[in-house]
Amino acid sequence: MSKLRQIFNTSYCRYYSVQQARKKLPIISCKRPEFNHYEGQSYSKFEGIKLASKGWLHPKSKNDHFTIYYEANKKEKVGVYKKSFEEVGVCNELREVMIAQGFEQPTAIQARAIPAILEGYNTVVTAETGCGKTLAYLLPIFQHILEWKPSLTEEFNSPLAVVLTPSRELASQIGQVAESIAQNININVTTLVGGRTKQKMLNPPIEYCDVLVTTLGAYSKLVTTGILKIHNVHHVVLDEADTLLDDSFIGKVANLLKKFSIHYKVQIQVPPVGCQLTLVSATMPHELPESVSSFVDPQSLRTVATSNIHKLLPHVPQKFIRLGKAQKPVELLRLVQADVNSKRPVMIFSNKTSTCDFVSMFLNENNIECININGQMAVAMKLGKFEMFKNGTVNVLSCTDIASRGLDTTRTRHIINYDFPLYTADYIHRCGRTGRIGSAQDCAVTNFVAWPREIQLVQKIETSVRRNVDLPNVNANIRRQIEDRIARMTAASI
């Protein structure tokens, strides 16, 4: 009798908790309501998790869909205390610049990262896209330079801080942000990208530079030839560090950073001694200690992160639609036409350059002005086209993953993944082009899901949301993932 009572009580508690949860709006709203998921809802380990996308490998599942609303039941928090720039240690001179640019308080990641960097720690800054990571490291670096500069003798081609990026587009963007601050505080910022490296080697520049923002390739060549000096560098930043530390770049990064005197913890003094390392990204490889051990003691790294790291953007609804390959152009035209009618800027992501070009031509042929960006374009052309989208000349941009990292625009209100990305890290970075600080409140993401491998990744994402855990396999080391996948396929075929 006691056994029956225990079973009854367990079943009743589960039923009661589900009914209580359903008084709220669903976090996952499905075309088939029986698959809706509610805040606080749990699943029996015997029954398993019921996924809306479970049957999507079947052809009859076409046109099924579900939408994730993380903040469906969010209420405005009243009286939440936020730190000020003064409380996190930012000096008065920089505070005035921030206020003039419209930043009255630091974001969550800035409030955590600024004190750590100011204190001289080697720091890993990991936070969701669009939350202000660039200022989180630029402000303490500028503050250190303001303290050091009066006591140092200026040397040409000898920066005090270097920001390294994997792409020219990102270097140009960070350079613009840095210059907008530096021009008000008498700090010299130089942006250096590849393309004319040989010309600089034949005719070396002679300039005074406090902060150098540059790409890895260009900087490595000019340091190796002795044109740029490193003995005065006291800050090194790897922006988009997950990319710079993957198997494609790590050899060159390690060889370069071994030349710097990176300390366990830099003693902040005048003049400074040693070099401080900062790693910045929205996603970080699981093998981080192994990746950096050749040039810095992994134990010296202090990690600062937000609670949303490796999770879907909580404030941006994300819709997943199961479509057939032939349905995608029609659905794209319908969505983009609605965006154009409401003057809603939209970015459309594809996995391949050929698809990116097709999307652009298809929309233009249907009287929708669309520009495209892909990795095969010249840097000047890419930046020019992105500027057209950024300044509002054009509201529709077709692109590959070349535009998924680092590029900042608060205009983007809709992301369409025409091709669903093959890796979780790419999905996080694509979605991060919208819902940024300063963006409109009605941002959204729409995903077209057509192929078996795409469906499998969507099922993993849906499972993580229902279980309220981090997204699976958020590892930006794409090259290693590809090699591991090829190895598994080869082993299976033997």
- Cα-based angle 461, 467, 471 (whole degrees, multiple of 5): 35
pLDDT of residue 489: 47
Query: Dihedral sign, CA of 236, 241, 243, 246?
Result: positive
pLDDT of residue 2: 53
Classify residue 7: in a domain, yes or no: no
Assess whether 70 and 110 both reside in one domain: no
Assess whether 39 and 66 both reside in one domain: yes
Assess whether 366 and 462 both reside in one domain: yes
Assess whether 49 and 186 both reside in one domain: no
3-state SS assignment for residue 334 = helix
- Among 279, 305, 331, the domain-final residue is 305
Assess whether 418 and 301 both reside in one domain: no
pLDDT of residue 291: 82
DSSP structural state of residue 401: G
Classify residue 113: in a domain, yes or no: yes
Classify residue 215: in a domain, yes or no: yes
In this structure, what token pair is assigned to residue 158?
């000898």
Assess whether 417 and 290 both reside in one domain: no
Instruction: Give the E-state strand segments of 325-395 in sequence order.
Output: 346-349, 371-373
Tell me, what CATH number does 239's domain have?
3.40.50.300
Per-residue pLDDT of the chain (494 residues; tens, 9 = 90+): 455 555 445 444 454 444 544 568 999 999 999 999 999 898 887 778 999 999 999 999 999 999 999 876 665 444 445 789 999 999 999 999 999 999 999 999 999 999 999 999 999 999 888 888 999 999 999 999 999 988 888 888 999 999 999 988 889 889 999 999 999 898 999 998 876 666 666 566 668 899 999 999 999 999 998 999 999 999 999 999 988 998 888 999 999 999 999 988 877 777 788 899 999 988 877 667 788 999 999 999 999 998 778 888 888 999 999 999 999 999 999 999 999 999 999 999 999 999 999 999 999 999 999 999 988 888 778 888 989 999 999 999 999 998 887 677 789 999 999 999 999 989 998 998 998 887 888 899 999 999 999 999 999 999 999 998 888 877 655 455 444 544 444 545 55
Classify residue 493: in a domain, yes or no: no
Domains identified in the chain, total number: 2
pLDDT of residue 81: 55
Assess whether 294 and 433 both reside in one domain: no
Classify residue 482: in a domain, yes or no: no
Classify residue 233: in a domain, yes or no: yes
3-state SS assignment for residue 215 = strand
Assess whether 25 and 64 both reside in one domain: yes
- Among 240, 270, 305, the domain-final residue is 305
DSSP structural state of residue 25: P
For 176, the domain range is 92-305
265 beta partners: 121
Of 486, 406, 414, 422, nearest to 457 by C-alpha is: 422
Assess whether 280 and 329 both reside in one domain: no
Assess whether 273 and 155 both reside in one domain: yes
- Among 305, 336, 353, the domain-final residue is 305
Alpha-carbon torsion angle 311, 87, 137, 117, nearest 10: -100
375: Cβ–Cβ under 8 A, 6 or more apart, which residues?
353, 400, 402
Assess whether 176 and 209 both reside in one domain: yes
DSSP structural state of residue 195: S
Assess whether 110 and 214 both reside in one domain: yes
pLDDT of residue 275: 94
Classify residue 329: in a domain, yes or no: yes
Classify residue 394: in a domain, yes or no: yes
Count of other CB atoms within 10 angstroms of residue 103: 18
